[in-house]
């Protein structure tokens, strides 16, 4: 009998915005407040928020700066059940890595958000997923791409089709796509991808494997 694989520690890649917290809903409120644009969360059709909110370059930059202010980052609501499920995995001996596309300037507030939501034990890394440095001068990311590619994961939870390319080097990775209005039309690239509507479903899918 082979017991070798029975109890093995798993590694989870978890995206921050719109997986751990309700960033899209917050953007909808910010766009209304700053520019009087009414685009309800359900109607955010594109991952590119400049397109979804029909903003000029200048207004888009303004919105991104506003959305990354520490007090705004700290105000984002938790996606229901996120911290409960992640803590359950950590209690079982698994490792959770939050790999966010936020720039390193947002690290401190993001870390604080995690701590305030009972996620003191997760690791946080900022990876340049989207090439958004434009909105902050001298911004950098604390996780270099070459170091990211040395990391291995068993599961990934991500909402953005633009980030799927970061999974290409891990053929056995199980990717759970957090169901959001802006990823409805995207086709899942491979059979190891599946859609999840919430953290309860993510938890069940991991338990089933």
Residue 154 near Mg ion by CB under 5 A: no
Closest distance between Mg ion and the C-beta of residue 142, in Å?
Answer: 18
Q: How far apart are CA 87 and CA 120, in angstroms?
A: 9
17 binds Mg ion (CB under 5 A): yes
22 part of the interface to Mg ion, by CB under 5 A: no
Near Mg ion in 82-141, by CB under 5 A:
none
Q: Answer for the pair 129, 149: CB distance below 8 angstroms, yes or no.
A: no
Minimum separation from the CB atom of position 133 to Mg ion (A) = 17
Nearest-approach distance from CB 122 to Mg ion, in angstroms: 15
Closer of 160 and 206 to Mg ion (Cβ): 160
Contact 178, 38 (CB under 8 A): no
Q: Which is it for the CA torsion 165, 168, 169, 170, positive or negative?
A: positive
Name the segment binding Mg ion (CB under 5 A); options: 3-11, 16-24, 31-39, 60-68. Answer: 16-24
Angle of helix 57-67 relative to helix 23-35, nearest 10 degrees, comes to: 120
Residues facing 17 on adjacent strands:
21
For residue 18, state whether it binds Mg ion (rule: CB under 5 A).
yes
* 159 interacts with Mg ion by CB under 5 A: yes
Neighbours of 45 (CB within 10 A): 14
Residues that bind Mg ion (CB under 5 A): 15, 17-18, 159-160
């Amino acid at each position: 009998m082979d017991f070798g694989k029975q109890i093995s520690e798993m590694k989870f890649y978890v995206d921050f915005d719109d997986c751990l917290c309700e960033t899209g809903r917050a953007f909808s409120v910010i766009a209304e407040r700053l520019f009087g644009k009414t685009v309800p969360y359900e109607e955010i059709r594109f991952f590119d928020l400049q397109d979804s909110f029909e903003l000029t370059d200048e207004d888009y930059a303004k919105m991104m700066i506003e959305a990354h202010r520490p007090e705004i980052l700290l105000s984002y609501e938790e996606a229901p059940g996120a911290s409960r499920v992640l803590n359950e995995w950590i209690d079982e001996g698994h490792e959770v890595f939050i790999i966010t596309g936020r720039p390193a300037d947002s690290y401190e507030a993001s870390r604080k958000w995690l701590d305030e939501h009972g996620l003191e034990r997760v690791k946080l890394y900022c990876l340049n997923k989207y090439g958004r440095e434009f909105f902050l001068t001298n911004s950098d990311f604390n996780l270099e791409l070459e170091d990211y590619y040395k990391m291995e994961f068993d599961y990934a939870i991500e909402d953005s089709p633009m980030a799927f390319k970061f999974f290409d080097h891990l053929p056995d990775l199980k990717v759970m796509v957090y169901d959001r209005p802006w990823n409805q039309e995207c086709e899942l690239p491979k059979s190891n991808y599946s859609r999840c509507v919430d953290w309860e479903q993510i938890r069940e899918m991991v338990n089933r494997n």
